[in-house]
Every structure is written in C-alpha cells, then in structure tokens.
Amino acid sequence: MKTDFVHVFKGYGRVPSSCYIKMFDDDGDTFICFIDINDGTSVTNASEQIASEIVNEYKLDPDNCRFFETYQQYDYDSFDEIEYIWKKDILGLLWIAKNPQWKPASEELKKIFIE
C-alpha cells in the first residue's frame, strides 16, 4: 500500500488544520510521514492527535507503524522519527498515542518520503 493524501483535523482551539500524509508498507511495517503545509496547528503540536487518527482510520496496529514529520515550508530541513506510547481508550476501541519522542531520522528515509 502506498498512499498520499491531505489529512484534515481540528487543531488547538478547534482551528481548522491540515497536513499532507505519505504512507507506505515495507516488510510488515507501515511508514507514515506527516508533512506540515503551514495550515493551522503544526504537525509537531498535533502529532499525537494525527497519529491516533491515522492509526484508527486505517485500522493499523501501532506496534507495526513508524512515524515521521517534516516541514514543507522549511524545505524539509528537519526530518524526524516520532515514537509514541500507545494505549486504548476507556472503551478499549480506539488507539491513543501518548508521550511523543522525536529523534533525527536517516537521510535515506527522508529521500523515500521527499521525492
């Protein structure tokens, strides 16, 4: 599966926001990149929300996902991998991403996402 699309979400203060998402599968893992397009709340500030929405919408196993973020308006200068702690909601139906941790990702992965 390779998918590219605009993801619309409600940012802080319910501000209409969107980002570009690129996803692909490789060896059983799903690689997901949030690309900030300077529309509302930043992908960094909405990271947990976006990750949770994508995992639940596409019915992904978060243990088999890798998440990344970058900024189009800054010429993709930074490219980071994000790791989360995943928990289920109170009803046990939806995944919720918590405690994001950012670290620089490889140039090789950056080239795959930023073509």
pLDDT digits (tens, 9 = 90+) for 86-110: 999 999 899 999 999 999 999 998 9
Report pLDDT for 70: 95
Report pLDDT for 114: 85
Domain encompassing residue 29 = 2-113
Give per-10-residue mean pLDDT for the chain (115 aa).
87 91 93 96 96 96 97 90 96 95 93 84
Q: Which pTM was predicted?
A: 0.93
Report pLDDT for 59: 95
Q: Which residues, 6 or more positions from 66, have their beta carbon under 8 angstroms from its beta carbon?
A: 29, 30, 31, 32, 81
Give the C-alpha distances (Å, rounded to integers) separating 3 from 22, 84, 100: 6, 22, 23
Count how many domains the chain has.
1
Report pLDDT for 75: 86
